[in-house]
Structure 1
Amino acid sequence: MKKKSIAIIMASVLLAVLAGCGGKAEEAPAGGKDSKQTVIKVALNNVPNPPFIFKDDKDNSVGYTVDYFKELEKKFPEYKFEYDLVDKEAQILGVDTGKYTLTGNLFKNPEREKKFHFAGKEFGYYITALVVDKNRDDIHSLDDMGGKKLAPLPIADALRSIINDYNKAHPGKEVQIEDIEKFVVGDSLKVVANGKVDAALLNVNQFEEANKKMQLDLKVGGIVSKEPIFLMYNKQQTELAAEFDKATEELLQDGTLSKLADKWLGVDFFKDVDSVNEGYKFRQSK
């Protein structure tokens, strides 16, 4: 009986351990003999996305997102943050299966919200802008794009939803746009440069990076919007998300995130779009 009881107990313990593996944080030694830290496994994009995350000349990961996580680390010494740089598909699959606790720099959409738990508080924004030929001065906003052609975008792309919403709200003044299967920044810039379209809608920083490499005579005509980016968690991580939401709000209220935005983007993207637009123009004139 004793052997049978021990076997039952061991089986129960094993089942409990296995049940706790689905997306939950793990515990790891934290230096002290009895102290432990909870491991937070973070998946970040391995594709350079300056100024949010990229490699410096010493092959270290740097950028706004990296600094944001450093601030979270300061607030949560009880957690051990471990980072993996992987492609977007691996990020999403890894969080879904529990390999990773969370990932960042993602837009919310209905499909993702069904499968994952999103932070309630955004930790930053992508700034979207209309890119035009440097000699054009007639396009500064979507209101100037009525009847004009925009560089193609995939139907499911987050940027495309901006255009779809605008066109629904402005019947008779729709922006002309064609569908493509895959969005490539360089391709969008090329069709603007060769005059096939009037403008392209892009993330400002993606444009600046690509324009520098391609050496095209293009410019930002105007800032269109700022799109919030969030941390995305495994469905089970609601308590952790609430903790990080509170910390993110504190970092916003004490000015830390605004300082990081100004450091890495040259503008405080937590301000309204008009202020961001003016800040961007000032930055460009320096």
Structure 2
Amino acid sequence: MKKRLIAVLLAASMVFSLAACGGKSSESETEEDKVKTEGTEETKEDDVEKPEVDTIHWARANSGNILVTVAKQQGYFDEVGIEVIEDPVESSAAALTALQTGQVDVTSNQGTNNPLQFIAEGSDFTIVGGYMLKGMYIVGKKETEYKDVTSLKGSKFAYAGVHPVVGMALLDAGIDPMDENQIEWLSYSTNSDRLAAVVAGEADYAVLSGDQLFAVGNNDQIEIKAWLDDLVPNYGCCRMNMNTEFVKQNPITVKLLLKALIRAEQWYLANTEECVSILAKEIGADEDYVAAYLLNENYVSSVDPCKNAVIKTWNGMVQMKFIDQEAADSINIEDHINTELYKAALDECVEEYYDEDPEFYDGRIQFFEENDQ
């Protein structure tokens, strides 16, 4: 009994001694660990890069934008803290006017020549990325002989004026696209009207976009004669445009937006067939209609700005007098192409997600080196 009492007193003295020396109970240790953990979590949260603005208004064309849709559905925009709101627009002119007036922050389905025309006329736009790299094509009746771009000489061509890419190819072949004796351009405002003109025999050829591939594929009188990429490789079909002031004031927002889109491009290319049903549902169209362009190997997307193609298009438009010489002399078009933010976004994606798809990211790096340097 005496020994037991001594043991109890000894244990008590040890507890007191620990307390006197600053020893902590298990309860206080847990509380401190909790504080340390919370502090670490706060530090990590502070390290996360935040966009200057968290809401982006995107001009949405009738055919939609599969990369925006995927980035939404896969949560890529959410991960970078950005909400993208798509505002419907009826035409390229309406979309670019909405951008000019600040009603939207981004346009992406309006080609390359259209935003360049706005820039030439005084709009301060900056091309920061892209949507479709290629996907437009020339159609004619099956019996109409076509060998190469020289076959267009002497033809009637349906488009809204001279098509810049076709015009550049004609110039390279020594044919003046502005000379009515060499090629006659018939003005039709919509793709469906251009297709109807060829079917009716009013025009020999027409340039069409992806939204007409289903109609072309189901018309036994018409066939695709050439893809515009055959004429001018990587011509940069649809570029991604923003107001220059917005880009300057919100560089982190733009970079994070591009980062989400690059990830969406990788997912789209790895899951193209699934994207058919996703986009069909998004735009309220039949899956066969969407599959006609989305599964076509010549319909290719790229978030890359394609700087070299944009400059080539600008120079071609100047040569064909779409852009007057005064504007050409006063504007350095390279000042309206920002490749740095895309490259920063790509570098971060490579660092964080390379193992998910090495082939995709190696391809994006090589493409940038070949098309933006």
Note whether the superposition's TM-score is higher than 0.5: yes
Query: Which of 47, 69, 72 is the aligned partner of 1:70?
Result: 72
Q: For 1:4-59, what per-residue CA distance to the aligned partner results, in whole angstroms no more than 9, with x for missing partners?
A: xxxxxxxxxxxxxxxxxxxxxxxxxxxxxxxx9822222212xx33xxx2xxxxxx
> Structure 1 residue 132: deviation in Å?
2.0
Matched, 1:142 2:149: yes
> Structure 1 residue 140: deviation in Å?
5.5
Contact 2:138 2:206 in 1 (8 A): yes
SS at match of 1:103: coil
Q: CA RMSD in A?
A: 3.5
Identity across matched positions, percent: 14
2: CA distance between counterparts of 1:185 and 1:96? 25
> Structure 1 residue 122: deviation in Å?
1.7
2: CA distance between counterparts of 1:81 and 1:270? 19
Match runs of 1:33-112 below 5 Å:
38-45=54-61, 48-49=62-63, 53=64, 64-70=66-72, 74-77=76-79, 78-88=81-91, 89-109=93-113, 110-112=116-118
Contact 1:151 1:177 in 2 (8 A): yes
For the structure 1 residues 105 and 187, does the alpha-carbon distance in structure 2 shift closer, same or farther, using more than 3 Å as the test?
A: closer
SS at match of 1:104: coil
Matched residue, 1:282? none
Task: With the length of structure 2 as denominator, give the TM-score of the two structures.
Answer: 0.47
1: CA distance between counterparts of 2:98 and 2:197? 36
Q: Determine which structure has the larger strand proportion and give its number.
A: 1
2: CA distance between counterparts of 1:41 and 1:194? 40
> Structure 1 residue 195: deviation in Å?
3.5
SS at match of 2:85: strand
> Structure 1 residue 200: deviation in Å?
1.9
2: CA distance between counterparts of 1:37 and 1:235? 15
Matched residue, 2:261? 248
For the structure 1 residues 90 and 210, does the alpha-carbon distance in structure 2 shift closer, same or farther, using more than 3 Å as the test?
A: same
> Structure 1 residue 180: deviation in Å?
4.1
Matched pairs, number: 213
For the structure 1 residues 80 and 64, does the alpha-carbon distance in structure 2 shift closer, same or farther, using more than 3 Å as the test?
A: closer
Query: Which of 112, 130, 140 is the aligned partner of 2:138?
Result: 130
2: CA distance between counterparts of 1:100 and 1:149? 40
Query: Which of 199, 224, 230 is the aligned partner of 1:193?
Result: 199
2: CA distance between counterparts of 1:260 and 1:116? 36
1: CA distance between counterparts of 2:169 and 2:143? 26
> Structure 1 residue 217: deviation in Å?
1.9
Query: Which of 119, 125, 129 is the aligned partner of 1:117?
Result: 125
Matched residue, 1:179? 185
Contact 2:129 2:241 in 1 (8 A): no
2: CA distance between counterparts of 1:65 and 1:75? 11
> Structure 1 residue 166: deviation in Å?
1.7
